[in-house]
Amino acid sequence: MEPKTYTTLEAFKPHFNALARGGYLKIMKPTSFKKPYFNALCRVLVWFFVVLYNLQHLILVIQVRRSTERIVDILFILLTTLNTFGKQLAFNLRVHRIDKIIDVMNGVYFAATNRYHVDIMKENALAMYRILRLYHVAIFTCGILWTIFPLVNRALGENVQFTAYFPFDTAESPTFEIVLAYMSILITLQAYGNVTMDCTIVAFYSQAKTQIKMLRYDLEQFEKIDNIETKFTENIFERSSHIWKALKDEKIKIHSKLVFCVEHYRQIVWFVKEVESIFGEAMTVQFFVMAWVICMTVYKIVGLSIYSAEFVSMGVYLGCMLAQLFIYCYYGTQLKVESESVNTSLYCSNWLSSLPKVRRQMLIMMQYCSKPLTPRTAYVIPMSLETYISVLKSSYSLFTLLNQKH
């Protein structure tokens, strides 16, 4: 495949297809999903049922506010769905800004210009696709288990309590089965939207990391003027107009390539800051809520039998929560590490053979690139593996406190 036939947006087609099919986003440019009326209907239904589902949980939390056990049962779900709702708002209310991000990705600076660019873009697209599919398998597995364990508990004669408010008795059949189907479908739908939006945001940061790798390659393969001026001086008696023209053309070519690299880096910086701005509030809620969600999930797990279906489903859910936070911190760290190496690539470009004017321009670029790109939550907390460890420590501290009070 030729570089010009492979676009940056290839990595985002599975994500935007999934969001459009699920009714979480309008049909975007890179998607192959072409059913606008179905998409519009799905979006209306999703908004209605998501709001209804969260309201039902909020009402029940108020009703059982004096029972720690019941509040924990409800909040570990409610906090996750509210987090999903926040990301859904960001994707839909700021869709015009996402369109602008897509235009930049589809522009000349993010385009593949050689075989190496195509290879790393394909590698990134494959990695993002695999992560998305892995998450989809995990949430559907979790959804199936959450449907099974109430049926198993009911068959064993145990009392099954739902985590949402219903203005009627749900204990008798077929009301129980209908309510269970309603709850299972809606929680699976919201989990589907949640992980798909997470994978899309992570794919934006991964794309920035890929663009940094492309930029570093271009800098390391930077064409140099092979000491033309020295050769020109040594051949003083052979001066002619074509030598002057060759020297001038080479200077223009080198300057143009350096300007292109600077503009490419500037576009990457804007891209990262814009993604951070669009999803800033949602990410802030995610990182602060995640500590509570992990804490409450562990609190529920320790009280379950390891042979119960609920234990397995809760274990899968906890794994999804841990992995959901991990991918943000992992790719945030990857982006930071990659951007820290831009100046190293400039230094490895054999700049000694370049003209003094070009060297000065490279020094200016090195100063501009000296600050690494670090995605942040609330513009303060870095998305890094250190932050991931801090959240886990906070979750353990909250769990210890909650367990002591119980």
- 368-387 residue pLDDT tens: 888 889 998 878 889 999 99
pLDDT of residue 184: 93
Q: Which residue has the tokens 């230094």?
A: 347
pLDDT of residue 132: 95
Q: Cα 199 vs. chain centroid, distance in angstroms?
A: 5
Q: Is residue 237's pLDDT more than 50? A: no
Residue 165: CB atoms within 10 A of its CB come to: 16
| Other CB atoms within 10 A of residue 174 CB | 8
Rounded CA separation 300/76 (Å)? 9
Structure tokens given for 60? 């029940």
Neighbouring C-beta atoms of residue 50, cutoff 10 Å: 21
Helix spans in 221-240 (H): 228-234
Give the mean model confidence (pLDDT) for residues 48-58. 94
The answer to whether the CB of 17 falls within 8 A of the CB of 33 is yes
Q: Say yes or no to pLDDT of 33 above 80.
A: no
pLDDT digits (tens, 9 = 90+) for 265-295: 999 999 999 999 999 888 888 888 888 888 8
Q: Rounded to an integer, what distance in angstroms lies between the CA atom of residue 191 and that of residue 83?
A: 11
Higher pLDDT: 224 or 262? It is 262
For residue 189, pLDDT over 90 is answered with: yes
pLDDT value of position 268 = 95
Q: How far is C-alpha 27 from the chain's CA centre?
A: 19
pLDDT of 400 > 80? The answer is yes
Kind plus residue range of the DSSP H or E element containing 406: none
Note the pTM of the prediction, 2 decimals: 0.87
Q: What is the pLDDT of residues 341-362, one digit of tens each?
A: 988 888 887 676 666 777 787 8
Mean of per-residue pLDDT scores for the chain: 84
| Sign for the pseudo-dihedral over CA of 205, 206, 207, 213 | positive
Counting residues of the chain whose pLDDT is more than 90, the rounded percentage is 40
pLDDT for residue 44 is more than 80 = yes
**Nearby residues of 275 by Cβ (< 8 Å), 6 or more positions away:** 101, 201, 204, 205, 208, 375
Average pLDDT over residues 52-61: 94
Residue 353: the pLDDT is 67
